[in-house]
Amino acid sequence: MLAFLAGCSSLSGYPSNYQNIDEALAADAPFLSAAVRTNAMAADNQARGGLSPQQYRDTVVYRRIEVIDINYYDFEAKLTGTNAALALGSDLTLLVLNGLGATTGSAAAKAALAAASGGIIGANAAIDTDIFYKKTLPALISQMRASRQTALVTIERGIGRPISAYTLDQALNDVNTYYVVGTLPGAVVQVTSKAGAEQNAADAQLTELRSIRYVAPSPGSSTQIILNWLYPPNGDQINPVVRANLQKLTDWAVNDTIDPTIKNTPWQQWVSDPSTKSENARLRAIIRLGIKEK
């Protein structure tokens, strides 16, 4: 095996394509024409090579998907095969950095952001291709694959329906989406919109926590357990606070990776708030800090 590997001048990670690409693309060419729309509406099956409108729709869709797939995997192989394969234009660089650097949240965004914050752009605004290829690109490829799969499911569902419920025009729109989500700018849009949604949820939660209503803690509740720990013996905040415990609670909140909101709020808000998210935060704190019920 080692001898085999040593004998290879380069290894891209992608085996050679099993089909004759040129022949496949030539066979698919008639289905890429704009004429498919008029063919689909022709009264006679003759214009569709003897296919019914539904059969023709399905054939056009699958042939176009085949072309997109051939080009996509060639594109992906070139992306990952060598750092020199992608001409990282300034537009894409800025798109990646502006899009990912301003938002956070998903694992993909995290990886991409880490790369961005790690100094993709140097003093002369040139891209650090090594960091881009090691960190940002895998996240974007992962996003492209996931989005392509999602788009494909939409198409598969569509062509399972009659032509009256899923016209060729609708199908072609979905096929175009399938193409777009397999592009780097398409992946950036997906990553940033997901991260944006997560950010909006965190912002909404913070807004809710800014104004809460007093709720008398019931005995044995997570709120009362934490209050007793901070303000022994009965949790009344008029008692002197156990500063060491409050510091532990504060430090835990700052480092909690599940709920990014609580580190930005006074402890009263999430310790008193009756929402499920705050209750979960309290339970995590109790377990993590080993707070015992007194």
Partner 1 sequence: MSICGSFSMSGVPNGKQDAIEKGYRDNIPPPKDVTKVQDGDGTWTITAEWPPCPDDVTVQHSANNLAAAGD
Give the residues lining the site for partner 1 (CB under 8 A).
Answer: 101-105, 109-111, 113-115, 117-118, 135, 199, 202-203, 206, 209-214, 216, 231, 236-238, 241, 246-247, 250, 254, 260-261, 263-269, 272
Q: Which is nearer to partner 1, 93 or 245 (CB)?
A: 245
Q: In whole angstroms, what is the distance from residue 92 CA to residue 129 CA?
A: 13
Of 98, 62, 57, 184, nearest in space to 133 by CA? 184
What's the min distance (Å) between Cβ of 255 and partner 1?
9
Q: Which is nearer to partner 1, 171 or 271 (CB)?
A: 271
CA angle at residue 225 from 250 to 233, to 5 degrees? Answer: 95
Q: Which is nearer to partner 1, 190 or 269 (CB)?
A: 269
Q: Which is nearer to partner 1, 109 or 181 (CB)?
A: 109
Q: In whole angstroms, what is the distance from residue 4 CA to residue 189 CA?
A: 41
What's the min distance (Å) between Cβ of 200 and partner 1?
10
Assigned token pair, 231? 């303000």
Of 30, 148, 14, nearest in space to 81 by CA? 14
Other Cβ atoms less than 10 A from the Cβ of 144: the count is 22
Go through the chain and tell me how many residues it has. 294
What's the min distance (Å) between Cβ of 58 and partner 1?
44
What's the min distance (Å) between Cβ of 122 and partner 1?
17
